[in-house]
Structures are given as structure tokens and as C-alpha cells.
């Protein structure tokens, strides 16, 4: 009689034994006898395989990671990600997909502003999770270009680039594709009226109309402060919860900190990409507006500079533009207005992008805001021209 050696289970078969013995839903679990028939081995082989793999998982994290990846092919993941804040202030990052956990941990560890990066990750991952659900909760590791095109077909033009970025973030397969986002980013909004010769006069009219629309004295003073600061410093609107830019500015404390000293002020501004800028190139009107506002409303250390909601400020600006029968401006447009006024004053773009809250390189300003010409230097003379525009 010829003896046949017992068959050895493959790693994938051992994973399947462990899964159907230990982790599958109760209704789907299988007995050793059933698994033995499935793999054509006896029950003892199944039992030994389960015991051995259970022990190895405790000493071999890499093997367990391989099992987790395999398990994704056997069951539908219940969620894409989860971020938990622990009682001690630390965070726990969870996902059925190990590479998403690695991404969250890596990005969190590199960030200086932990709260901001948590909020940013959540927003991107919420978007990615919505896409994941639209794709039938398909494992992101198996996403193909066709899946990207499926989502882009359902996405508005202005959001296609963001959707591609969110998909690439959670999908190793898409991340490996070169030029994935080419042609998806929409062109920046252009402001034709900003190029008119009389635009400085028009902008002054817009500001005055905003002050007339304001319902209270405090609202009138705040909208004047907001438009003056943004159009003369390039400051972004920002986020209060991150202590970022104008809306995140506090008196004498915080990341964005404003301190009035005599008839002057010192203002350090925390901006996007964790940049720090100082408002040091000031017009007389800017200085007087800021100092008078802080004193009039007796703002003290720890107070927010601006109390008006961002939506209300934009509504006032929109209404003013409507009354003057011109294209609607948004608060962020004041950043474009700022650099356009600098260039109108004769300040070369190379210097303009370094003043107050500018840009790290000339290419960014040139690409996203206006087409500038190289002009002469000599800031003091041009500063006087800049001041006269207000």
C-alpha cells in the first residue's frame, strides 16, 4: 500500500481557517470538519493550523498585517476610518485598511498644529468615505482609473480636482499613477473690474456702501476694519478654531496676535501651511483704523478682534456690489485687490509678494491672481502712491 504525505496548507488557506474559526460573523463560521472537507485535509491539520497561526500573530506583527490585508477580500469593511480623542489628549487612528492608519499617523506626527491637521484629515477622509460608498465600499487598494472616471462624472467641474486628491490619498493604486490630476484643477476666478483704471475709486465706493448697509455701529466699524485690513495687508480670512489669519486674531495672545502699543500696533499672523507673517508695511489709514477700533471697543487680552460672522461680512459685501451694479466681490478677493494695488503703485512683484501676508514665490502670485509686469524698485515713493489709493 502506498502512503501519501499529509498536504500542507498554504498561507492563504491558514488565514481562511483562522478567519472562519475566529473572526467571521457567527452565522458564517465553519467547524473543523467542514474546513477539512473544503481543503481536503483532516480535522487535526485544521486544528494545528489554527493554533500555530494564533501563536504567530502574537510574535509576528508583519504576518498579522498580511492577514488583515487578506481579510479585506473576505468581508465588507464597516467604515473607512475613525479618529478618537483619548482622555489624556492623545489620538487613536483606526481603519480596516492598514495603509490609511499609516497615513493618518504619519501626517499627525509631522504636524506642528495638531488640532488643525486632525480637522483637515477628517474633512478629506469624510470626502473619501463618501466616494468609497459610491463605489460600493470597494477596497481602495483595488481602485482603478475607471473608478476615478466614474466619480469624476458625478462631480461638478470645480470639485473634480479635490475629488481626485481625496481618492488618491486613500488608494495606493491611484497614488502610483503619474499625472492623475492633470487638467482637473479649475482656473482661478478672475476679476475683470479690478483691471479698470478707476478701480481704486470704485473700491472706495464699495467700502462706503458696505458701511451704509451695516445695521449697527459695531457692524459698520467691523466691516470697515475687515475690508481695510484685508485690502492693505493681503491677510486671508482664516479660521477662528485654528487661531488663523484675520478671524483667528486675538488681542495680545494666540497664534495670530495683535497688540496695540501707543499709536501703533504689532501684528503677527498665523497663515495657511503654518506660515508666520508680520504686518510691518503699514499705511497711516491702516494703523489708525486698527488702533482706533481696538481702543473704541476696549478690547483686552484674549478677546477676538472680529466678532462678526464671516458669512455676514460676505453678505454685506455682496449687497454693496449689487447696489453699485458691479460684479460681486468676496472677502478673499481683497487679497487679490491688495497685490493689484501694490503693483499699481509701482512696486515690483518681487517685492510685493514679500510684504505683509504675501506669497513664498513669484510664480504663485503670477499664476493665481494677475499677470504682472516687472516694475522699478524704490519702495518709499511707491508707498506714498499706495496710501493715496485709500
Handedness of CA 312, 314, 317, 319 (dihedral sign): negative
Mean pLDDT of the chain: 85
The last residue of a domain, from among 149, 175, 201: 175
Taking residues 269-287, report their average pLDDT. 87
Taking residues 254-258, report their average pLDDT. 94
R_g of the chain computed on alpha carbons: 30
Taking residues 315-332, report their average pLDDT. 94
| 156 and 200 inside one domain | no
| 165 and 106 inside one domain | yes
**Domains held by the chain: number:** 3
Taking residues 140-146, report their average pLDDT. 89
How far is C-alpha 6 from the chain's CA centre? 57
* Res. 81: pLDDT tops 50: yes
pLDDT score recorded for residue 304: 96
| 291 and 347 inside one domain | yes
pLDDT band for 74, please (50, 70, 90 cuts): low
Q: Which is more confident, 192 or 138?
A: 138
Q: How many Cβ atoms from other residues are within 10 Å of residue 148's Cβ? A: 24
| 50 and 99 inside one domain | no
The answer to whether residue 4 is domain-embedded is: no
| 154 and 100 inside one domain | yes
The answer to whether residue 252 is domain-embedded is: yes
| 210 and 65 inside one domain | no
pLDDT band for 9, please (50, 70, 90 cuts): confident
The answer to whether residue 5 is domain-embedded is: no
| 99 and 52 inside one domain | no
Lowest mean pLDDT among 23-32, 132-141, 206-215, 302-311: 23-32
* Res. 319: pLDDT tops 90: yes
| 129 and 276 inside one domain | no
Using a cut of 0.85, tell me whether the model's pTM lies above it: no
* Res. 126: pLDDT tops 90: yes
pLDDT band for 76, please (50, 70, 90 cuts): low
* Res. 31: pLDDT tops 70: yes
Lowest mean pLDDT among 71-80, 125-134, 299-308: 71-80
pLDDT band for 75, please (50, 70, 90 cuts): low
| 238 and 165 inside one domain | no
The answer to whether residue 180 is domain-embedded is: no
| 348 and 217 inside one domain | yes
* Res. 373: pLDDT tops 60: no
The answer to whether residue 30 is domain-embedded is: yes
Q: Which is more confident, 366 or 343?
A: 343
User: For residue 123, what are the domain limits?
Assistant: 82-175
| 200 and 301 inside one domain | yes
The last residue of a domain, from among 175, 207, 233: 175
| 264 and 122 inside one domain | no
Lowest mean pLDDT among 5-9, 108-112, 316-320: 5-9
Taking residues 329-357, report their average pLDDT. 81
The answer to whether residue 377 is domain-embedded is: yes
The answer to whether residue 302 is domain-embedded is: yes
pLDDT score recorded for residue 375: 37
Taking residues 340-360, report their average pLDDT. 75
* Res. 278: pLDDT tops 70: yes
The answer to whether residue 94 is domain-embedded is: yes
The last residue of a domain, from among 47, 71, 95: 71
Amino acid at each position: 500500500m502506498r502512503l501519501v504525505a499529509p498536504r500542507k496548507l498554504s498561507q492563504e488557506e491558514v488565514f481562511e481557517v483562522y478567519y472562519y474559526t475566529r473572526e467571521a460573523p457567527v452565522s458564517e463560521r465553519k467547524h473543523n470538519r467542514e474546513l477539512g472537507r473544503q481543503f481536503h485535509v483532516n480535522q487535526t491539520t485544521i486544528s494545528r493550523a489554527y493554533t500555530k497561526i494564533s501563536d504567530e500573530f502574537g510574535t509576528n506583527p508583519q504576518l498579522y498585517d498580511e492577514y488583515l490585508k487578506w481579510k479585506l477580500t473576505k468581508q465588507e469593511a464597516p467604515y473607512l476610518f475613525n479618529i478618537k480623542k483619548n482622555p489624556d489628549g492623545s489620538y487613536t487612528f483606526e481603519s480596516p485598511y492598514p495603509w490609511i492608519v499609516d497615513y493618518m499617523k504619519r501626517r499627525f506626527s509631522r504636524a506642528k498644529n495638531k488640532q488643525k491637521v486632525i480637522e483637515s484629515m477628517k474633512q478629506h477622509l469624510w470626502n473619501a468615505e463618501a466616494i468609497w460608498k459610491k463605489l460600493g465600499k470597494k477596497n481602495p487598494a483595488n481602485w482603478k482609473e475607471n473608478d476615478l472616471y466614474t466619480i469624476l462624472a458625478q462631480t461638478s467641474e470645480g470639485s473634480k480636482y479635490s475629488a481626485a486628491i481625496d481618492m488618491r490619498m486613500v488608494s495606493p493604486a491611484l497614488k502610483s499613477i503619474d499625472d492623475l490630476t492633470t487638467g482637473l484643477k479649475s482656473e482661478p476666478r478672475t476679476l475683470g473690474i479690478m483691471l479698470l483704471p478707476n478701480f481704486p475709486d470704485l473700491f472706495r465706493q464699495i467700502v462706503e456702501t458696505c458701511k451704509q448697509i451695516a445695521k449697527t455701529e459695531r457692524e459698520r466699524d467691523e466691516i470697515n476694519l475687515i475690508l481695510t485690513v484685508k485690502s492693505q495687508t493681503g491677510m486671508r480670512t482664516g479660521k477662528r478654531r485654528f487661531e488663523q489669519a484675520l478671524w483667528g486674531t486675538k488681542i495680545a495672545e494666540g497664534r495670530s496676535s495683535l497688540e496695540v502699543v501707543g499709536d501703533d500696533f504689532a501684528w503677527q499672523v498665523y497663515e495657511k501651511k503654518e506660515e508666520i507673517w508680520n504686518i510691518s508695511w503699514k499705511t497711516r489709514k491702516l494703523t489708525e483704523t486698527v488702533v482706533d477700533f481696538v481702543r473704541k471697543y476696549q478690547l483686552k487680552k484674549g478677546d477676538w478682534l472680529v466678532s462678526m460672522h464671516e458669512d455676514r461680512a460676505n453678505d454685506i459685501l455682496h449687497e454693496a456690489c449689487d447696489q453699485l451694479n458691479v460684479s460681486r466681490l468676496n472677502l478673499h478677493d481683497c487679497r487679490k485687490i491688495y497685490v493689484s494695488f501694490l503693483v499699481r503703485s509701482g512696486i515690483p512683484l518681487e517685492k510685493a509678494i514679500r510684504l505683509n501676508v504675501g506669497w513664498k514665490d513669484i510664480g504663485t502670485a503670477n499664476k493665481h491672481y494677475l499677470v504682472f509686469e516687472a516694475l522699478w524698485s524704490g519702495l518709499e515713493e511707491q508707498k506714498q502712491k499706495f496710501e493715496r489709493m485709500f
